[in-house]
Amino acid sequence: MTDISPTAIILVAVLPGPRDLEIARLLGWYRIPLRTAPKLLSVDYLAFYQPGSFGEQGGQIAYLAPVIGHELVTRAELLQDEPDHPRAQEEYFKLQLGGLLPLPRPVRADRWKRFAFFYTTGEYLLSSDTLTDLVVRNDDRKQVWTALRERAVSGAAYHPAEWPLEPDPRLIEKLLEMIRP
């Protein structure tokens, strides 16, 4: 794990169930519904949070994978064994992944409530014991925001006006509210 840069941008994402971990491991992709996707997907890695559906392996981040690219497809194209699923025709981002990398030690959930996605860095991920430790704070928050903004603008994903120069402090406060008991 020493090859992960401290400045790597990491998107922490929830794996709905063990099948999704196997898809990431064997097929090399992860899906995110367009309607709930984070604003930017051009990140270096996905860190996979395993919820309670993983049984004894739940409540932790044990793996991450490099993000190679992404495309927009329908759920039916992704999960061809579920053609009659109610969301079969909805659009999803398919993130292409490199091989799964185990973390040296899992990052535990501790007291977190539910979340969908959030950004962190390689430094935070490799030094964290709990999900609370992954929350980027203070000056580091501005650096992450700047890196995300630069990626959005250089990738022509968004117009610069959609990404103000400074992060909105209300977003961090909202994230912190999610982890308070």
Closest by Cα among 148, 141, 175, 142 to 162:
148
Q: Is pLDDT at 169 greater than 80 in this prediction? A: no
**H-helix or E-strand spanning residue 31:** strand 29-33
pLDDT, residue 10, reads 93
Contact 46, 65 (CB under 8 A): yes
Contact 82, 75 (CB under 8 A): yes
Tell me the per-residue pLDDT of 110-163, one tens digit each, with 9 for 90 and over: 876 677 788 899 998 999 999 988 888 777 777 777 777 777 666 545 444 454
Q: Is pLDDT at 44 greater than 80 in this prediction? A: yes
pLDDT, residue 172, reads 52
pLDDT, residue 40, reads 82
Confidence of residue 99 (pLDDT cuts 50, 70, 90): very high
Q: Which residue has the higher pLDDT, 23 or 154?
A: 23
Place of tokens 């925001």: 145
DSSP states along 91-151: EEEEEEE---EEEEEEEE-TT----SEEEEEHHHHHH-SBHHHHS--HHHHHHHHHHHHHH
Query: Can you read off the two tokens belonging to residue 49?
Result: 């949070």
pLDDT, residue 81, reads 86
pLDDT, residue 163, reads 47
Q: Taking the domain 9-179, which CATH number applies? A: 2.30.130.30
CA 135 to each of CA 67, 101, 168, 174: distance values in angstroms, whole numbers, following the listed order? 21, 21, 15, 12
Contact 72, 35 (CB under 8 A): no
Q: Is pLDDT at 13 greater than 70 in this prediction? A: yes
The domain spans of the chain are 9-179
Q: Is pLDDT at 174 greater than 90 in this prediction? A: no
